[in-house]
Amino acid sequence: MHIILDDTAMAAAGQGNVLASRLIHRAHAQVGWYLYAPTCALVEADRTRPGTAEHLAALPGITVLDLDLPAALAVARHETWAAAHCQYAAQPTPDRPDGAIIATTVPGRWIGEPVRVLDLTP
């Protein structure tokens, strides 16, 4: 299971959202569960809730996704960097042939986008 945390999910994890905490625990404890934090979303989460980036980057079950050239080109075409980087990261890759699911506390933001969503609203 490959899950992308958007900026709202990252901020929620820092505020004690039980569903986000379960995802983090599962990614750390269970084989086959992977959590990703796109860099642009991590920056936005830290702006919303200072300290979030350091906290999440230190967790062993979360992989921070760099803003490489293909990601930067994809982000450049959108208005918000955080959402664009999450959407780009959720697309299929050789490592994730089925793509990834975006975990969010604001599922309405993803309506009409070509992504699968996991609602973390408590």
Distance in angstroms (rounded) separating the CA atoms of residues 102 and 30: 19
Distance in angstroms (rounded) separating the CA atoms of residues 72 and 104: 22
Distance in angstroms (rounded) separating the CA atoms of residues 38 and 43: 9
pLDDT at position 74 is 82
Q: Which residues of the chain carry a pLDDT beneath 70?
A: none
Q: Give the predicted TM-score (pTM) of the model.
A: 0.93
pLDDT tens figures, 30-59: 999 999 999 999 999 999 999 999 999 999
Q: 58-70 as b/e, with b when 16 or more CB fall inside 10 Å?
A: ebebbeebebeee
